[in-house]
Chain A
Amino acid sequence: MKNIIKFVLFFFTIATFAQNDSTKVYKKRVLESTEVDFLMSYYEQNGDNASVTGGIGTEELTDLSPTIVVSIPLNEDDILTVDFGISAYTSASSSNLNPFDKSGASVESGAKGTPWLAASGASASDIWYGLNTAYSHSSDDRNFIWEAHASYATEYDYTSIGFGGSTAKLFNQKNTELNIGFQVYLDNWIPEYPTELDSYLEAGEDLNNGYFNGVSILNQDGFEIDKSGNSGPIWNPENFDFINDKSRNTYSVSVSLSQIVSKNAQGVLFFDLVQQKGWLSNPIQRVYFKDKENFYIGNSESIPIYTSRENTDVFHLADDIEKLPDTRHKIPIGLRFNYFINEFLTVRTYYRYYYDDWGVYSHTANVEVPIKISDKFTLYPSFRYYTQTAADYFAPYNENISTDNYYTSDYDLSKFNANQYGFGVSYTDIFTKANVWKFGIKNVDLRFHQYDRSNGLSAWIVSGAIKFVMQ
């Protein structure tokens, strides 16, 4: 909270200086009056490849994200924008950080868990909070714009401090614009680990101690093992250790060049250079090795059907958490091209090629066709196609190798393609006739997107927004 107050004070201080610097020559204001945007989205997904449970298990997730954005014109040239949002989610896969329910594995009635049902533990839901503050200044001739911003975000296992800036230069009678920006995120994990791994180290690697005391561990054949190790192999996640470097920093530079091509067409070419350093894996994501024996807690009869949704009462003990390199370099490059066909129809196109040094290549293509059905209403049908290759370190459930340096079963890093269909409607009243107190309603937007991945994940999102203008 202190950080948030510091950010706000910092930007209001800058704003005060900017107001003193304003010129008395008449200029059209960059922003005529204060605007307030209320936005909200609701998201749902489901799939069978949860990364928290090692690439197998339910991916059920819901997310509600109310957001408010306030843009304040400080004078003719300067705008202060404050953007605050929360994201309240429930996640079946995150809940399985501890799949043995909130009473833990050592319950008298026998521990049960499954990757296919949500557990009732603390990690089943959480709220992400984010604040972003931006300040922009336009030159008198509006041919030069600079912008600076800072952000703070937090959730139960992650904090982020970000800052950045950009400059835009318009030339060729404002037909061409060159924009250069940078962004830094100084993030930190507050690591949470899968319960069995965390407890294993806390119990001094003794399966008859602490969390594991009194709990039966089963082998692949469903037989209870001798946890002392005197009569056969025991579960021993020897690769696992707690994280030392909890930082996760991101540095990026973005360049774009836009150009008006004709009275009805314009496009932009852009690329980013991104470097990430630190703990780039997610410590809640389990990994299982195919060169290690499997051990379970729960009902032995369900072991043969472990990977099916019928398994409701047995859980595979993890071999490790995912491990990924501590650096990553990303280069997305692409273009947009928009064409104004007539007063009813516009075509918006987008293409991006992406490359990184983890072996992921991707193509993204998007087309949207706004259709003005009246002077106030516009429809927004859209389609997006996406394809990516797998990261070098990805393998499905129970297919990773323990001697590799890096491994993951996160299906977001697997090979897949995806289709997304979208539809939206927008209401615009440039005269803001409808009022709420001192504010007039300028825009009302509604969007729906359906997303289907080739590996079975399916999601939909509905978003709404109302823009008010101070009168």
Chain B
Amino acid sequence: MKKAFLLIVVIFTFSSCVVVKEYEKVNINDPDMKLTNYGIDRFNTNALLYREATSGGNGGKTSGGCGCN
């Protein structure tokens, strides 16, 4: 948890010193820069949900909805 807290601090530190304007976000807005899984990866993510004891932390389903995890 300490590491997580440190990461939050780091991110907020960045946020306080850098502001990227809308017109400067060409690269940030590239589809491959999205901070989520691609839609097509849903099947692979679902297979891993069945084959591993863990779940969650991917911005999608955490648990439930199946008898798998």
Contacts and interface: CB of A to CB of B under 8 A. Distances in A.
A218 to B, nearest CB: 32
Contacts of A65: 43, 46
A364 interface: yes
A330 B62 contact: yes
Interface string B13-39: 011001111101101101111110011
A271 B4 contact: yes
A365 interface: no
Contact of B53 (A183, A338, A378, A391): A391
* Interface size bracket, A side: 35 or more
B53 A332 contact: no
Contacts of A176: 15
Given A260-B25, A378-B32, A185 B64 contact: yes
Contacts of B48: 386, 451
A198 B2 CA distance: 49
A157 B62 CA distance: 21
Contact of B30 (A248, A336, A340): A340
Interface of B: 4, 7-8, 11-12, 14-15, 18-22, 24-25, 27-28, 30-35, 38-44, 46-48, 50-59, 61-67
Contacts of A249: 64
Given A262-B18, A266-B35, A391-B53, 19 more contacts: A41-B44, A43-B43, A67-B42, A173-B22, A175-B20, A250-B64, A250-B65, A263-B27, A274-B55, A276-B64, A332-B54, A354-B56, A354-B57, A356-B54, A362-B53, A428-B31, A451-B48, A451-B51, A461-B43
B44 A261 contact: no
Contacts of A400: none
Contact of A334 (B20, B57, B65): B57
Contacts of A350: 58
B60 to A, nearest CB: 9
Given A352-B58, A418-B52, A463 B63 contact: no
B32 to A, nearest CB: 4
